[in-house]
């Protein structure tokens, strides 16, 4: 009689420690071969040596006192000086615009459902409020300035509450309309309004506001504020203009197609700095001598048109990448051409070229530093002019321009980071 011996199943052993965790990751990615291991060791040595000398220079040798000396000129340029704003009482205008931005970030926090929008809103408000504790005396940075900076924290909370409890501000449409109104209001505040100016309604609305009386000339707008304003206007306008140019270039109407092709090729074939210089020299010849031609609107128009030409090619590439079956299926369902484009083709095309679109936005933001060619004091030109006017500070120029590079990197990396998270949310590149 046969007997069957029952044996217990063998226990499942864990994987070796060298294949999991940090050691496993290093073995798979840094030391998977002799060449990879040698390259890792050499790279680590170079980074350690560079980091040692770099951090030693940053914390021990570098002189960052120039940043504190420039102060508000770095952010606002000559906007709040006696020359442009008698009495220096215009400081609150850009800060009110910053409060509106903080409130919009709080609304976007609710509309986006938290995540990246929540972190950006909190970090922006905390970083802005931290400037209220700069070690300046109260003669240089008064309590009113500090309180307005600290008010960005409750501004984010107010925007969150508005979007949380008012359904209109909980939608993309509501936030978009409020953002447009906030941008226009910021421009009006920055410009100012003189008592007795043309028109009755502006006097009734803004004549009682203290500090709005002196009009600040557009040529005195400068610093980081100028770069941000040009970038916001260019980004907001270049995308719809680029979409229109891309659709026009694919149009069956030969006249429309020819106009779009000429526009795109001309602006893509001429450097931006040349276009800015031409706007300064040639455009005034087409207008009467006493016609007001401020450099800021010209710079905004040129930068927007230049960026829209590249944006049009990005959008056109996304449209051409779509399978023809998408439009054929839409036509089979009876959709007219405009609905097929707006509801089927265009959303998919924009989704596919999000990296290219954001890359163009980043390039546009960096190109705003070229407005110095028409005499505007952006953050780079304001710093250069300040050092040129104070030759004794020339030895600290490298610290100043390194700091400017970090500022540009923060803004550009933020746009890139939001783009990557948005692509992951939409599943770009996945099927």
Q: Output the DSSP codes for 19-37.
A: GSHHHHHHHHHTSSSHHHH
Least confident range of 18-22, 52-56, 110-114, 117-121: 18-22
pLDDT score for 328: 84
- 252 within some domain: yes
pLDDT digits (tens, 9 = 90+) for 152-165: 999 999 999 999 99
- 49 within some domain: no
Band of pLDDT at residue 19, cut at 50, 70 and 90: low
**295 and 224 housed in the same domain:** yes
The mean pLDDT of 416-426, rounded to a whole number, is: 84
**If you average pLDDT over each of 40-44, 64-68, 392-396, which comes out highest?**
40-44
Of 296, 262, 428, the residue nearest 357 (C-alpha): 428
Least confident range of 8-22, 122-136, 146-160: 8-22
pLDDT score for 17: 63
**223 and 179 housed in the same domain:** no
- 13 within some domain: no
**198 and 239 housed in the same domain:** no
Long-range contact pairs involving 130-138 (C-beta distance under 8 Å, separation at least 24)? 134/68, 135/68, 136/68, 136/71
Band of pLDDT at residue 377, cut at 50, 70 and 90: confident
- 34 within some domain: no
pLDDT score for 198: 42
**292 and 224 housed in the same domain:** yes
- 110 within some domain: yes
pLDDT score for 95: 92
The CATH number for 282's domain is 1.10.3720.10
pLDDT score for 270: 92
pLDDT digits (tens, 9 = 90+) for 215-247: 888 888 989 999 999 999 999 999 999 999 999
pLDDT score for 213: 67
**206 and 253 housed in the same domain:** no
Q: Is 378 helix (H, G, I), strand (E, B) or coil?
A: strand
Band of pLDDT at residue 428, cut at 50, 70 and 90: low
Does 210 or 200 have the greater pLDDT score? Answer: 210
- 203 within some domain: yes
Band of pLDDT at residue 3, cut at 50, 70 and 90: low
The mean pLDDT of 361-370, rounded to a whole number, is: 93
CB contact at 8 A, 287 and 352: no
What is the radius of gyration, based on Cα positions, of the chain? Answer: 28
Band of pLDDT at residue 208, cut at 50, 70 and 90: very low
**284 and 355 housed in the same domain:** yes
From 188, 216, 244, give the residue that closes a domain: 216
pLDDT score for 203: 44
**200 and 164 housed in the same domain:** yes
Cβ neighbours for 207, distance < 8 A, ≥ 6 positions apart: 193, 195
Rounded Cα distance, 336 and 282, in Å = 44
Least confident range of 181-190, 214-223, 291-300: 291-300
Q: Is 261 helix (H, G, I), strand (E, B) or coil?
A: helix
pLDDT score for 204: 43
What is the domain extent for residue 384? Answer: 63-76+219-431
**267 and 385 housed in the same domain:** yes
pLDDT score for 215: 84
The pLDDT > 70 percentage for the chain reads 90
Of 183, 204, 181, the residue nearest 193 (C-alpha): 204
- 98 within some domain: yes
**410 and 428 housed in the same domain:** yes
From 184, 216, 248, give the residue that closes a domain: 216
pLDDT score for 201: 41
- 258 within some domain: yes
The mean pLDDT of 339-363, rounded to a whole number, is: 89
Q: What is the mean pLDDT of the chain?
A: 85
Using CB atoms within 10 Å of the CB of residue 188, give its burial: 0 to 12 exposed, 13 to 18 middle, 19+ buried. middle
Considering its fold, how many domains does the chain have in total?
A: 2
**210 and 227 housed in the same domain:** no
**If you average pLDDT over each of 153-157, 251-255, 340-344, 383-387, which comes out highest?**
153-157
**369 and 278 housed in the same domain:** yes
**229 and 358 housed in the same domain:** yes
From 186, 216, 246, give the residue that closes a domain: 216
pLDDT score for 430: 62
């Amino acid at each position: 009689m046969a007997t069957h011996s029952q044996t217990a199943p063998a226990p499942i052993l864990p994987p070796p420690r060298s294949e999991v965790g940090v050691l496993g990751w290093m073995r798979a990615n840094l030391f998977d071969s002799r060449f990879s291991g040698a390259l890792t060791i050499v790279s680590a040595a170079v980074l350690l040596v560079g980091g040692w000398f770099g951090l030693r220079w940053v914390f021990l040798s570098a002189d960052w006192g120039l940043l504190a000396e420039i102060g508000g000129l770095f952010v606002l340029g000559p906007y709040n000086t006696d020359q442009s704003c008698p009495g220096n009482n215009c400081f609150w205008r850009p800060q009110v615009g910053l409060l509106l931005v903080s409130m919009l970030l709080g609304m976007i926090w609710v509309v986006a459902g938290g995540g990246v929008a929540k972190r950006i809103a909190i970090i922006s408000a905390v970083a802005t409020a931290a400037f209220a504790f700069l070690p300046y005396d109260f003669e240089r940075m008064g309590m009113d300035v500090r309180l307005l900076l600290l008010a960005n924290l409750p501004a984010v909370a107010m925007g969150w509450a508005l979007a949380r409890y008012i359904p209109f501000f909980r939608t993309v449409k509501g936030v978009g309309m409020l953002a447009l109104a906030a941008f226009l209001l910021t421009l009006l505040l920055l410009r100012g309004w003189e008592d007795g100016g043309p028109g009755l309604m502006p006097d009734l609305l803004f004549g009682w506001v203290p500090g709005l009386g002196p009009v600040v000339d557009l040529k005195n707008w400068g610093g980081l504020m100028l770069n941000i304003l040009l970038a916001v206007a260019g980004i907001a306008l270049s995308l719809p203009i680029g979409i229109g140019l891309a659709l026009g270039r694919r149009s069956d109407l030969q006249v429309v197609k020819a106009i779009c092709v000429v526009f795109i090729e001309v602006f893509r074939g001429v450097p931006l700095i040349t276009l800015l210089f031409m706007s300064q020299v040639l455009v005034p010849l087409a207008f009467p001598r006493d016609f007001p031609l401020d450099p800021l609107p010209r710079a905004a128009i040129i930068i927007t048109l230049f960026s829209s030409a590249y944006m049009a090619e990005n959008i056109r590439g996304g449209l051409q990448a779509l399978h023809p079956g998408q439009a054929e299926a839409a036509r089979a369902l009876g959709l007219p051409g405009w609905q097929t484009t707006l509801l089927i083709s265009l959303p998919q095309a924009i989704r596919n070229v999000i990296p290219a679109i954001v890359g163009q936005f980043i390039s546009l933001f960096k190109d705003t530093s070229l407005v110095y060619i028409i005499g505007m004091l952006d953050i780079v030109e304001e710093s250069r002019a300040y050092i040129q006017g104070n030759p004794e500070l020339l030895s600290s120029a490298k610290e100043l321009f390194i700091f400017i590079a970090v500022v540009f990197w923060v803004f550009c990396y933020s746009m890139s980071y939001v783009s990557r998270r948005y692509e992951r949310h939409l599943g770009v590149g996945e099927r």
